[in-house]
């Protein structure tokens, strides 16, 4: 083809203007810098403009950063970047979208870019500290997502996890989703916003939109990837052999002293200190390892005038922190999304994700074993000839009750999961009245099979410790389908702007499972034979089951605004759900009102506010993550004599309740404001969320059992503030700063005239009482430690209980001169009363830098590991406890003596075991370098290289491995590592 | 053209919206209700009915003593453990005493379980055809009688209570407390409702559940409830109907009536059945009779176990019987120890006792002296020679009478003496039937006092009949015996503390 250089001074430039998500921007202004030729983009973002030689073009669009570019002829694609803080940003709400300026509820948005800073298998981990009111508890186990709670805990027995809506489909768990596939994530916090999700909305809703292709865009290849190491951090220091032996001697327990002597006999005496055995095993050091985390996502996307597409593939792998055992997670994902315009008014599309993951779990119990194993036990003991196939040391050989050594538990268990997901959706959308009335129908199907295979390999440790091989296999399949139909009407009548939505949703949730087990594998060490057929026939058991629920919903919404000044959003959802037999139908209304004060005449002279909106909302939704019923509705056989002959009869266990879903009602009031040329933004929200009919155990007076009923009231309330500051100092230097703060108060309001509801175990009591937080830790307060005999003899409590110096002195709460159950008080809640997150970001020329911080306070952690001395008083303890024990007058007023530790008196549930759970963390640091116009493949290539430090530093006072503990009870928590990665993104 | 297109589109949309249908809301795979039962197998309908009998037969050992302890026929049996049991006998009530709560719970729970079983029977009924439909109705009616009996005992003991009509206590509690009068009226009405559906035969004539409830059981219970209501005409009508049926007859041998030969006799209108099935080992189903037994004995058949010594016939009763010259009924009701005989002798009136008064029972079991009591209850005694070979538990295989024809006759007589019109025999005839069996002479011109004395003699140690008679007739002076003082405030036991804490009982 012959190319003729035009000699004319002006040239025709064609182009398309897109937003960051490759959505065409209609109505964007294009102006030539010298000639002032101008143009406006059409509905598809296309424009055409005459450009004089040498001049640049300036593209502006409200809410987006204005660009000044050198034209590239004959056509160019212009991607505009959204200005932060913009109120024109569109937010996903249920079954629709809304401008941020028009919102009346509490909705936060997290951009895909911010999510991708966190190296993790699961997007949930990335939310920590990013949004006020979202509480995230991570787990370090490979492939395990974080626990998320939005605005506290509103249920006693149900699940509090939010609902995830991924491209229109509902999920309780999104471990199949590659975080780098996410475009945006919207968190709907208040009930007026989530009411449209009906019974699924109680825990809050997180709407996720995955990345998508764009029309009129040439194919683009992209790669995003990182590789790094995970490093166990804040590893708990355990007592070493010297400290342990000191404790053993001070305990006064002959059995413990004898064990030390046996250890010296068996393993020799230390040459440094001949009074301790020549063994000093640091079990954490032996077992914990650094491990690899890696993620690669490659894909291509683009589109013609009528079709757009995106295809990507993702590989993720994460190794665990435990050596010896297989604990790892590997996932391969494929994602394809296509959309086509059949006409100007008719659009169809499909979205497919296939995810294939393999996950190996270590026994949770091993975390306890590592903690408790005595340091005077070696890993291997060549003299333990009875141990097969590996001569692991056995603590029974030196007189302990258990084998203690955690290695066999790691080595001889193989627990594998295969988790596959095939998620499909198709939709069709037709504009019945162009731009005004749209009908959309969408089908989603999520097919999720999961296989488990757990093998216990045979081993012996000697001294009657023999473990036979066993196999457990379980297969389950979930198949959830939804079919949504919506009609959306969008119009303006003068100053009245109206969006009306009406829709139906049909949901079918089905699942079935099969499991089987057997013992004595034929050839247990050969993994090729790990099937039930190779187990001993007599030992085989199997079971299967299924469940299926249907739900039908009708919903509608009115979005109304008058002159952008007065806002109203009203939603209603009626949902029928077959899970609940008592009353399948529920009605979930929501209403929100907003008043944009800054649009009022009296405010227009105020230069202080660029935008000011007051908003208030109320809504109701349901929690269907509670069982359908409680109590056994079961038939029991009985026999009785009739005329001296034995007859059989039956009776029905009659303590039975059909539940209804729990109803949550929430009132939210807030302010949205922009100051200082939109550089500073503030969102303030106050909420009160009540669970109206929480399912609680109710004492049944007549039959004296506990029966769960919809009879409790719980309240979560709090204040949330989000502040952000964005500024550009010059073209090359931009920075932003953000802060989010949240307070939370959780209160049990009504438990049906009962004094309390107990939870936790009897030894580690948690109790819910009216006016207190749910499942609050409950026990004695330690006033100090008896320091000497005269203190003991002066206190009748001490003399009646035969106490000694080194024992706890408890607070006599009711001053009756006795220490008994009545002196127990609430020792605190596991829910933090205050959390904060902060982030700082800066772009300078090609460099970008970000830092985020997170902290929480006001929560307590039950150090159950310390507490378990009640059952295992001959095992190891943390070094802090060993060093700071009471061992003579004045040595400690908070820790008991070694002897005292083993006494029931000091093992009562007390604030000695309930510790401050506050922590502060540097959540993430990232430094990136951007390379533009890199012409590798004769085409413009962009690249970014970056270094990430995730959770490099955490500070806490708690005497455990990690202050991040699920529901505040630290027993077998998989600690969360620090992660350091190198990353590369390339776009061609 | 444009319009056609529009219509098609709207039509399509409506089609989509309409496809979502509600019928699926009734489907729920995987929730296993009690109804994994195949209710179309209507022959299994008897199973929940038998289950209800099992509920009512399997009484807690504390139930009978607490309900029947307070009359002047029986004492707690010395001090020792169960101090508050003794205090209850002395009308000093302790609402924290475990036995109160336990009996309350046992009996309430049984009512709830029976109601749950009624629901099961009704599920079978849906599939029933022909005679099975009537049988289902009969079983439901029987269940109502069983439940009413429990409600009756509870209300006599505690007064105001909740009526348990469902298997969901919350609903019954919501209906509020009912006075004893309301409860008795409820029971009377419930019996009227049940009677048409019940079998018109003696319990021992039943072939499906021999000894089960029949129309006459319901009539007797109706009479008992109306006795409490002082509606004597209804008492006379109900008992007269039983008498006129000519189906019932007093068992000849009063002593053996309470032993194995008296099981399911023609005298029985309701009886708790127990058995060791005649086998020396294996399953057995018994009330814990050891509670009643003497604490030490020399049984005729060695190896037979003794009892706990808790249930002691009162000295007042024994003297009353001796004065009347009773032999059969006294010998049946009371087992003497030498210590007890000595103490009787200390009273000049009883310095000489009939020769048959010894510490040896007619079956040759020798009752030794024991600390807790001087006498033991003979009606709760099974001679060691009647024990199944190999069984040693005290009273193993012995039934417990609940409603006997003798009580029906005496209720009838009382009602007539209270002014009701009889439709059957005369009051004299009714009393004399009872006396004849006891080996006593006929009397004429029976008075109310005669009837009550006869009841005392005949029904001592049986379900507190005596106590509740005295309470109902305001004969508190009879209950104020041996140092006790009975007042109106002592009529009902206090609500158990655990129930006060949990229920709207005020």
Residues of A in contact with B173 (CB under 8 A): 701-702
| Whether pLDDT at A149 is above 60 | yes
Question: Is A129 among the domain residues?
Answer: yes
* Contacts of residue A329, Cβ cutoff 8 Å, sequence gap at least 6: A121, A142, A143, A144, A316, A317, A318, A357, A358, A359, A360
Could you tell me if A393 and A379 are in contact, meaning their C-beta atoms sit under 8 angstroms apart?
yes
Q: What pLDDT is stored for residue A791 in this prediction?
A: 94
- Kind and range of the H or E run holding B62: none
Question: Stretch B58-84: mean pLDDT, rounded?
Answer: 87
First CA to last CA across chain A, in angstroms?
Answer: 25
Q: pLDDT by residue (tens digit) across B363-392? A: 999 999 988 899 999 999 999 999 999 899
Q: What pLDDT is stored for residue A606 in this prediction?
A: 67
| A165 and A254, same domain (yes or no) | no
Separation in Å, CA of A925 to nearest CA in chain B: 49
Q: pLDDT by residue (tens digit) across A124-144? A: 999 999 999 999 988 889 998
Separation in Å, CA of B113 to nearest CA in chain A: 6
| H helix intervals, A288-435 | 365-372, 407-411
Q: Give residue A36's region: left, alpha or beta (phi > 0; psi -120 to 50).
A: left
Q: Mean pLDDT of all residues in chain B?
A: 91
Q: How confident is the model at residue A486 (pLDDT cuts 50, 70, 90)?
A: very high
Q: Dihedral, CA atoms, A575, A580, A581, A587, nearest 10 degrees? A: -30
Q: Which of B257, B247, B265 is nearest to B210 (CA)?
A: B265
Q: Which domain holds residue A815?
A: 784-825
Q: pLDDT by residue (tens digit) across B290-330? A: 999 998 899 999 889 999 888 999 999 999 999 999 999 99
Could you tell me if A13 and A57 are in contact, meaning their C-beta atoms sit under 8 angstroms apart?
yes
Question: Is A734 among the domain residues?
Answer: no
Say which range, A103-117, A185-199, A744-758, B27-41, has the weakest mean pLDDT: B27-41
Q: How confident is the model at residue A504 (pLDDT cuts 50, 70, 90)?
A: very high
A638, A640, A651: residue with CB nearest B116: A651
Instruction: Check CB contact under 8 Å for A638 and B51.
Output: yes
Q: Is A756 part of the contact surface with chain B (CB cutoff 8 Å)?
A: no
Residues of B in contact with A513 (CB under 8 A): none
Separation in Å, CA of A202 to nearest CA in chain B: 21
Q: What pLDDT is stored for residue A31 in this prediction?
A: 84
A432, A550, A649: residue with CB nearest B27: A550
Instruction: Check CB contact under 8 Å for A650 and B120.
Output: yes
How far is CA A124 from its chain centroid?
4
| Whether pLDDT at B478 is above 90 | yes
| Whether pLDDT at A713 is above 70 | yes
| A94 and A74, same domain (yes or no) | no
Instruction: Check CB contact under 8 Å for A634 and B113.
Output: no
Separation in Å, CA of A644 to nearest CA in chain B: 5
Residues of A in contact with B209 (CB under 8 A): 642, 647
ipTM of the complex: 0.88
Instruction: Check CB contact under 8 Å for B169 and A700.
Output: yes
Give the relative orientation of helices B448-459 and B465-472 as an angle to the nearest 10 degrees: 160
DSSP E strands: which ranges in A607-764? 609-623, 629-630, 635-642, 645-652, 657-658, 662-675, 680-700, 705-730, 733-743, 745-750, 757-760
Domain total for chain A?
4
Question: Stretch A667-671: mean pLDDT, rounded?
Answer: 96
Question: Stretch A363-381: mean pLDDT, rounded?
Answer: 92
- For residue B215, give the 3-state DSSP assignment: helix
Residues of B in contact with A641 (CB under 8 A): 273-275, 277, 285
A439, A549, A650: residue with CB nearest B13: A439
Instruction: Check CB contact under 8 Å for B24 and A550.
Output: yes
B112, B119, B209: residue with CB nearest A642: B209
Residues of A in contact with B268 (CB under 8 A): none
Q: What pLDDT is stored for residue A939 in this prediction?
A: 67
Q: pLDDT by residue (tens digit) across B97-132? A: 889 999 999 999 899 999 989 989 998 999 999 999
Instruction: Check CB contact under 8 Å for B210 and A639.
Output: no
Say which range, A266-280, B20-34, B315-329, has the weakest mean pLDDT: B20-34
Q: What pLDDT is stored for residue A19 in this prediction?
A: 80
According to DSSP, residue A795 is labeled -
Instruction: Check CB contact under 8 Å for B277 and A504.
Output: no
Instruction: Check CB contact under 8 Å for A545 and B277.
Output: no
A551, A644, A651: residue with CB nearest B117: A651
Question: Stretch A464-490: mean pLDDT, rounded?
Answer: 91
Higher pLDDT, A158 or A835: A835
Separation in Å, CA of A888 to nearest CA in chain B: 47
| Whether pLDDT at A294 is above 80 | yes
Q: What pLDDT is stored for residue A1 in this prediction?
A: 41
Say which range, A194-198, A463-467, A489-493, A554-558, has the weakest mean pLDDT: A463-467
| A109 and A206, same domain (yes or no) | yes
Distance (Å, rounded) from C-alpha A759 to C-alpha A767? Answer: 6
Question: Stretch A426-435: mean pLDDT, rounded?
Answer: 92
Separation in Å, CA of B41 to nearest CA in chain A: 14
Which of residues A825, A856, A878 is at a domain's end? A825
Could you tell me if A560 and A546 are in contact, meaning their C-beta atoms sit under 8 angstroms apart?
no
Q: What pLDDT is stored for residue A762 in this prediction?
A: 80
Question: Stretch A111-133: mean pLDDT, rounded?
Answer: 89
| H helix intervals, A686-838 | 789-794, 796-800
| H helix intervals, A770-863 | 789-794, 796-800
A548, A641, A701: residue with CB nearest B30: A548
Distance (Å, rounded) from C-alpha B3 to C-alpha A678? Answer: 49
Q: What pLDDT is stored for residue A483 in this prediction?
A: 93
Task: Report the percentage of chain A scoring pLDDT > 70.
Answer: 96
Distance (Å, rounded) from C-alpha A593 to C-alpha A669? Answer: 10
Question: Stretch B203-217: mean pLDDT, rounded?
Answer: 96
Separation in Å, CA of B218 to nearest CA in chain A: 19
Question: Is A815 among the domain residues?
Answer: yes
| Whether pLDDT at B451 is above 70 | yes
Locate the chain A residue with the closest alpha carbon to B25.
A578
| Whether pLDDT at A2 is above 60 | no
Instruction: Check CB contact under 8 Å for B16 and A485.
Output: yes
| A50 and A152, same domain (yes or no) | no
Could you tell me if A440 and A486 are in contact, meaning their C-beta atoms sit under 8 angstroms apart?
yes
Q: What pLDDT is stored for residue A973 in this prediction?
A: 81
| Whether pLDDT at B94 is above 70 | yes
Q: What pLDDT is stored for residue A5 in this prediction?
A: 47
CB contacts under 8 A, A 580-599 vs B, are 581, 584
| Whether pLDDT at B285 is above 60 | yes
According to DSSP, residue A982 is labeled E
**A980 prior amide bond cis, ω within 30:** no
Q: What pLDDT is stored for residue A935 in this prediction?
A: 67
**How distant, in Å, are the alpha carbons of A526, A796, A898, B91, B389 from that of A793?**
66, 7, 21, 46, 64
Q: Is A705 part of the contact surface with chain B (CB cutoff 8 Å)?
A: no
Q: What pLDDT is stored for residue B29 in this prediction?
A: 54
Q: What pLDDT is stored for residue B33 in this prediction?
A: 47
| A249 and A157, same domain (yes or no) | no
Which of residues A825, A849, A880 is at a domain's end? A825
Q: pLDDT by residue (tens digit) across A907-917? A: 999 999 999 99
Q: Residue A181 is part of a domain; what is its CATH number?
A: 2.170.130.10
Q: How confident is the model at residue A702 (pLDDT cuts 50, 70, 90)?
A: confident
Q: Is A651 part of the contact surface with chain B (CB cutoff 8 Å)?
A: yes
Q: Which of A905, A962, A965, A969 is nearest to A321 (CA)?
A: A962
Q: Residue A27 is part of a domain; what is its CATH number?
A: 2.60.40.4130
| A158 and A275, same domain (yes or no) | no
| Whether pLDDT at A6 is above 60 | no
Separation in Å, CA of B233 to nearest CA in chain A: 35
Which CATH code of 1.10.540.10, 1.20.20.10, 1.25.40.390, 3.30.310.50 fits the domain covering B42-73+94-273+402-459? 1.25.40.390
Q: What pLDDT is stored for residue B16 in this prediction?
A: 59
Distance (Å, rounded) from C-alpha A788 to C-alpha A795? Answer: 11
Residues of B in contact with A577 (CB under 8 A): 25
Q: What pLDDT is stored for residue B77 in this prediction?
A: 79
Q: How confident is the model at residue B25 (pLDDT cuts 50, 70, 90)?
A: low
Separation in Å, CA of A95 to nearest CA in chain B: 15
B54, B264, B498: residue with CB nearest A640: B54
Question: Stretch B216-227: mean pLDDT, rounded?
Answer: 97
Question: Stretch A106-118: mean pLDDT, rounded?
Answer: 88
Question: Is A894 among the domain residues?
Answer: no
Give the relative orientation of helices B448-459 and B315-324 as an angle to the nearest 10 degrees: 120
Separation in Å, CA of A525 to nearest CA in chain B: 37
Higher pLDDT, A464 or A720: A720
Instruction: Check CB contact under 8 Å for A640 and B53.
Output: yes
| Whether pLDDT at A3 is above 50 | no
Locate the chain A residue with the closest alpha carbon to B21.
A552
Instruction: Check CB contact under 8 Å for B33 and A652.
Output: no
Pinpoint the residues of chain B covered by CATH 1.25.40.390: 42-73+94-273+402-459
| Whether pLDDT at B438 is above 50 | yes
Q: What pLDDT is stored for residue A677 in this prediction?
A: 78
Instruction: Check CB contact under 8 Å for B24 and A441.
Output: no
Q: pLDDT by residue (tens digit) across A751-772? A: 988 888 888 888 899 999 999 9
Instruction: Check CB contact under 8 Å for B112 and A652.
Output: no
| A74 and A123, same domain (yes or no) | no
Question: Stretch B272-301: mean pLDDT, rounded?
Answer: 91
| Whether pLDDT at B2 is above 60 | no
Q: How confident is the model at residue B35 (pLDDT cuts 50, 70, 90)?
A: very low
Q: What pLDDT is stored for residue B9 in this prediction?
A: 67
Q: Give residue A703's region: left, alpha or beta (phi > 0; psi -120 to 50).
A: alpha
Q: pLDDT by residue (tens digit) across B124-156? A: 999 999 999 999 999 999 999 999 999 999 999
Residues of B in contact with A505 (CB under 8 A): 20
Instruction: Check CB contact under 8 Å for A654 and B115.
Output: yes
Burial B285-295 (b: 16+ CB within 10 A, else e): bbbbbbbbbbb
- Paired residues of A443 in beta bridges: A426, A483
CB contacts under 8 A, A 712-751 vs B, are none
Separation in Å, CA of A490 to nearest CA in chain B: 17
Question: Is A885 among the domain residues?
Answer: no
Q: What pLDDT is stored for residue A34 in this prediction?
A: 81
């Amino acid at each position: 083809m012959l190319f003729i250089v035009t000699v004319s001074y002006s040239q025709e430039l064609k182009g398309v203007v897109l937003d960051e998500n490759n959505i065409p921007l209609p109505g964007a202004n294009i102006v030539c810098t010298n000639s002032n030729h101008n143009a406006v983009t059409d509905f598809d973002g296309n424009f055409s403009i005459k450009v004089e030689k040498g001049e640049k073009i300036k593209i502006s669009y409200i809410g987006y950063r204005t660009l000044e570019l050198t034209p590239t002829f004959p056509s160019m694609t212009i991607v505009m970047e959204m200005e932060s803080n913009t109120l024109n940003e569109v937010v996903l709400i249920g079954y629709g979208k809304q401008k941020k300026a028009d919102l009346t509820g509490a909705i936060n948005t997290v951009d895909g870019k911010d999510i991708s800073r966190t190296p993790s298998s699961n997007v949930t981990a990335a939310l920590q500290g990013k949004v006020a009111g979202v509480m995230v508890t991570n787990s370090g186990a490979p492939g395990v997502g974080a626990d998320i709670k939005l605005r506290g805990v509103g249920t006693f027995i149900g699940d509090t996890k939010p609902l995830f809506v991924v491209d229109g489909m509902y999920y309780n768990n999104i471990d199949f989703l590659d975080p780098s596939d996410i475009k945006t994530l919207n968190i709907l916090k208040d009930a007026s916003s989530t009411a449209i999700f009906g019974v699924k909305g109680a825990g809050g809703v997180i709407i996720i939109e995955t990345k998508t292709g764009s029309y009129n865009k040439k194919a683009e290849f992209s790669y995003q990837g990182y590789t790094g190491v995970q490093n166990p951090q804040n590893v708990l220091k355990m007592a070493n052999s010297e400290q342990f032996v000191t404790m053993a001697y001070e305990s006064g327990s002959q059995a413990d002293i004898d064990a030390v002597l046996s250890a010296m006999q068996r393993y020799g005496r230390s040459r440094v200190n001949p009074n301790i055995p020549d063994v000093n095993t640091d079990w954490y050091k032996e077992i914990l390892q650094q491990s690899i985390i890696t993620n690669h996502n490659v894909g291509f996307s683009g589109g013609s005038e009528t079709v757009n597409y995106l295809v990507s593939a993702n590989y993720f792998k994460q190794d665990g922190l435990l050596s010896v055992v297989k604990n790892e997670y590997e996932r391969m994902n494929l994602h394809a999304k296509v959309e086509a315009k059949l006409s100007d008014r008719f659009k169809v599309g499909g979205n497919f994700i296939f995810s294939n993951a393999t996950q190996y779990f270590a026994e949770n119990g091993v975390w306890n074993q590592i903690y408790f194993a005595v340091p005077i036990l070696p890993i291997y003991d060549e003299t333990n000839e009875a141990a097969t196939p590996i001569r692991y040391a056995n603590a029974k050989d030196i007189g302990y009750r258990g084998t203690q050594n955690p290695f066999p538990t790691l080595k001889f268990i193989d627990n594998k999961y295969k988790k596959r997901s095939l998620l499909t959706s198709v939709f069709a959308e037709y504009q019945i009245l162009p731009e005004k009335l749209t009908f959309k129908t969408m089908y989603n199907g999520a097919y999720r099979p999961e296989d488990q295979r757990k093998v216990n390999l045979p081993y012996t440790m000697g001294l009657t410790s023999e473990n036979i091989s066993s196999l457990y296999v379980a297969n389950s399949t979930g198949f959830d389908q939804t079919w949504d139909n919506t009609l959306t009407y969008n119009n303006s009548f003068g100053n009245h702007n109206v969006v009306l939505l009406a829709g139906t949703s049909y949901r079918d949730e089905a699942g079935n499972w099969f499991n089987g087990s057997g013992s004595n594998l034929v050839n247990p060490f050969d993994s090729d034979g790990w099937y039930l057929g190779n187990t001993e026939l007599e030992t085989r058991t199997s079971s299967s089951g299924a469940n299926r629920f249907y739900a039908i919903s009708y919903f509608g919404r009115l979005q109304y605004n008058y002159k952008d000044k007065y806002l109203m959003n009203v939603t209603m959802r009626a949902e029928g759900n077959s899970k609940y037999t008592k009353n399948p139908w529920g009605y979930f209304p929501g209403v929100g009102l907003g008043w944009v004060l800054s649009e009022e005449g009296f405010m227009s002279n105020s230069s202080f506010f660029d935008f000011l909106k007051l908003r208030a909302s109320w809504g109701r939704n349901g929690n269907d993550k509670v069982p359908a019923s409680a109590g056994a509705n079961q038939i029991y056989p009985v026999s009785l004599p009739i005329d001296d002959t034995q007859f059989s009869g039956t009776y029905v266990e009659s303590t039975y309740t059909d539940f209804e879903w729990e109803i949550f009602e929430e009132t939210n009031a807030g302010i949205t404001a922009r100051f200082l040329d939109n550089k500073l933004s503030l969102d303030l929200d106050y909420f009160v969320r009540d669970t109206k009919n929480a399912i609680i155990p109710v004492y049944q007076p007549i039959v004296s059992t506990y029966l769960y009923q919809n009879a409790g009231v719980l309240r979560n309330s709090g204040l949330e503030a989000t502040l952000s500051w964005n500024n550009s100092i010059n073209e090359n230097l931009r920075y932003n700063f953000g802060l989010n703060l949240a307070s939370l108060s959780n209160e049990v309001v009504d438990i049906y005239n009962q004094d309390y509801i107990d939870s936790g175990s009897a030894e580690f009591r948690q109790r819910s009482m009216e006016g207190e937080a749910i499942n609050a830790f409950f026990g004695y307060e330690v006033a100090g430690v008896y320091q000497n005999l005269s203190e003991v003899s002066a206190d009748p409590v001490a003399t009646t209980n035969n106490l000694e110096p080194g024992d706890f002195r408890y607070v006599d709460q009711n001053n009756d001169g006795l220490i008994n159950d009545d002196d127990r008080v609430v020792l605190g809640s596991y829910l933090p009363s205050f959390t904060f997150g902060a982030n700082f970001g800066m772009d300078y020329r090609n460099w970008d830098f970000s830092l985020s911080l997170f902290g929480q306070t006001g929560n307590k952690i039950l150090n159950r590991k310390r507490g378990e001395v009640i059952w295992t008083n001959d095992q190891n303890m943390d070094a802090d406890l060993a060093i700071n024990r009471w061992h003579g007058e004045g040595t400690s007023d908070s820790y008991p003596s070694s002897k005292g530790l083993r006494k029931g008196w000091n093992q009562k549930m007390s604030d000695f075991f309930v510790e401050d759970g506050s922590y502060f963390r540097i959540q993430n640091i990232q430094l990136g370098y951007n390379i533009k116009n890199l012409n590798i493949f004769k085409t413009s290539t962009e690249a970014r290289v970056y270094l990430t430090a995730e959770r490099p530093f955490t500070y806490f006072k708690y005497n455990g491995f990690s202050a991040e503990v699920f529901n505040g009870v630290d027993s077998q928590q998989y600690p969360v590592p620090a992660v350091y990665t190198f990353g590369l993104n390339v776009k061609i | 053209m444009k319009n056609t297109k529009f219509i098609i589109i709207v039509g399509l949309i409506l089609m989509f919206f309409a496809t979502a249908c509600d019928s699926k809301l009734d489907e729920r795979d995987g929730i296993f209700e009690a109804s994994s039962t195949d209710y179309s197998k209507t022959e299994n309908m008897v199973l929940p009915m038998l289950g209800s009998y099992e509920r009512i037969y399997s009484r807690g050992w504390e139930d009978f003593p607490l309900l029947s302890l307070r009359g002047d026929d029986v004492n707690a049996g010395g001090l020792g453990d169960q101090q508050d049991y003794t205090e209850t006998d002395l009308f000093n009530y302790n609402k924290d005493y475990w036995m109160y709560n336990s009996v309350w719970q046992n009996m309430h729970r049984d009512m709830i379980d029976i109601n749950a079983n009624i629901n099961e029977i009704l599920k079978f009924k849906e599939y029933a055809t022909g005679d099975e439909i009537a049988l289902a109705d009969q079983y439901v009616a029987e269940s109502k009688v069983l439940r009413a009996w429990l409600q009756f005992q509870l209300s006599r003991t505690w007064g105001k209570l909740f009526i348990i009509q469902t298997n969901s206590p919350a609903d019954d509690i919501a209906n509020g407390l009912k006075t004893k009068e309301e409860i008795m009226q409820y029971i009377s009405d419930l019996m009227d409702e049940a009677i048409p559906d019940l079998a018109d035969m003696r319990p021992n004539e039943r072939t499906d559940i021999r000894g089960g409830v029949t129309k006459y059981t319901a009539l007797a219970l109706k009479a008992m409830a109306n006795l409490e209501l002082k509606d004597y005409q209804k008492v006379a009508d109900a008992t007269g109907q039983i008498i006129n049926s000519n189906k019932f007859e007093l068992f000849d041998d009063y002593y053996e009536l309470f032993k194995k030969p008296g099981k399911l006799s023609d005298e029985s209108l309701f009886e708790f059945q127990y058995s060791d099935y005649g086998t020396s080992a294996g399953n057995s189903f018994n009330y814990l009779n050891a509670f009643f037994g003497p604490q030490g004995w020399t049984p005729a058949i060695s190896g037979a176990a003794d009892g706990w010594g808790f249930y002691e016939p009162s000295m007042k009763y024994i003297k009353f019987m001796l004065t009347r010259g009773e032999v059969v009924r006294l010998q049946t009701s009371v087992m003497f120890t030498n210590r007890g005989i000595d103490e009787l002798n200390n009273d000049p009136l009883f310095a000489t006792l009939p020769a048959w008064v010894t510490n040896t029972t007619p079956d040759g079991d020798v009752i030794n002296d024991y600390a807790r009591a001087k006498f033991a209850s003979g009606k709760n005694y099974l001679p060691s020679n009647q024990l199944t070979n190999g069984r040693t538990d005290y009273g193993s295989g012995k039934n417990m009478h609940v409603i006997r024809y003798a009580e029906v006759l005496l209720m009838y007589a009382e009602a007539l003496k209270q002014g009701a019109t009889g439709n059957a025999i005369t009051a004299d005839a009714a009393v004399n039937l009872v006396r004849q069996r006891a080996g006593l002479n006929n009397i004429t011109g029976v008075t109310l006092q005669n009837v009550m004395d006869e009841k005392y003699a005949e029904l001592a140690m049986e379900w507190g009949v005596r106590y509740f008679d005295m309470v109902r007739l305001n004969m508190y002076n009879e209950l104020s015996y041996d140092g006790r003082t009975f007042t109106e405030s002592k009529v009902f036991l206090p609500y158990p503390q655990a129930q006060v804490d949990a229920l709207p009982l005020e």
